[in-house]
Amino acid sequence: MKTSLRGLSSLYVAVFLLSLNGLFAKLIPLDATSITQLRSTIAVGGFFIFCRYHQRRLRLENLKQSFGVYCLGFLLGIHWVTFFRSMQVSTVAVGMLSLFSFPVVTILLEPFFARERLKLGNVMAGGVVLLGIAVMVSHDLHDLQGSVARGVFWGVLSALLFSLRNLIQKYHFSQVPSDRLMFHQVLAIAMMLAPFLDTQTTSTLTGVNWTTLFLLGVLSTATAHTLLTYSLKNLPAKSVALIGCMQPLVASILAWIVMSEMPPLNVAAGGLIILSVAMYESVQKR
């Protein structure tokens, strides 16, 4: 019981921090690949300082484990690039909402990893989440036409990559401490994307831009994903996926507070549908 409660607490904090990504995507004047490379580089520094301060070991056990963890980093890195790309070619709402098809993907894929039968209740919960997403994005579909299609494409691709990474991590690398696991993943991303960094535009960033990047790297990357990794160790992946569906709702509220973007009625209605699934899943785990 205590483990589940700690997992839920970590997940709720992670959801809030991850909800800030939509704001950062619009506030930082860089392409998706450059943002991902810089956030990862900053996160590497944050993880290194944290682990050294707490005398945590960073070295992985062997070559096989190192190869697997760095492959996870590759999946996570492409997930981040496609996620930010989705929001930049359309809107924060379209990017966030299309990404949250990943609970359905997770529900459908997890039985293959857990060697269990697919349960009807899980499929129904995923269907309700899809309904909520459809309601939330319906207004934008009429307004944005082609840009929505591009945003949804990149968002759904991001969702598939995120689901695969979470499931592989949960079922094959759960024995690796969360901070060590994330340190090596963000290190892999930083190295993988370094050749594609837009150095010319990066050199023109202001102090405010760098502060925003620092917050993205430390809070919404290092801290959020460490908490998310911890919750995956203590909760079923489908529960993390469904409760994580609170992110679009939280992101809409934050955009309203910070950028004065009043969520339209369809966003509020779809958000309530998604929130109901997340709350139900929380009660079930308690």
What is the secondary structure of 199-228 as a DSSP string? HHHHTT--HHHHHHHHHHHIIIIIIHHHHH
Which residue in 229, 227, 177 sits closest to 16, CA to CA?
227
Which tokens in the block code for residue 241? 């996926």
Rounded to two decimals, what is the model's pTM? 0.81
State which H helix or E strand residue 127 sits in: helix 120-144
- Provide the sign of the torsion angle of the four alpha carbons 19, 23, 29, 32, taken in this order: positive
CA 169 to chain centre: 14
pLDDT in tens, 134-147: 787 776 555 555 67
Query: Which span out of 12-16, 57-61, 114-118 was modeled with the highest average pLDDT?
Result: 12-16
Q: pLDDT class for 95, splitting at 50, 70, 90?
A: confident
Spell out where the chain has E strands. none
Using CA atoms, how far apart are residues 275 and 146, in angstroms rounded to an integer? 29
Contact 111, 252 (CB under 8 A): no
pLDDT of residue 17: 92
Distances (CA, A) of 17 to 20, 113, 222, 244, 250: 6, 28, 10, 11, 10
Residue 193 has pLDDT above 80, yes or no: yes
Token look-up 């060697």 returns 115
Q: Return d(Cα 101, Cα 76) in angstroms, integer.
A: 16
Looking at residue 208, what is its pLDDT? 92
| pLDDT at res. 91 | 75
Cβ contacts of 93 within 8 Å, gap of 6 or more: 136, 137, 140, 248, 252, 267
Q: 179: which residues sit within 8 A by CB, 6+ positions away? A: 47, 50, 51, 56, 226
The Cα–Cα gap between 189 and 194 comes to: 8
pLDDT band at 93 (very low <50, low <70, confident <90, very high): confident
d(CA 116, CA 239): 15
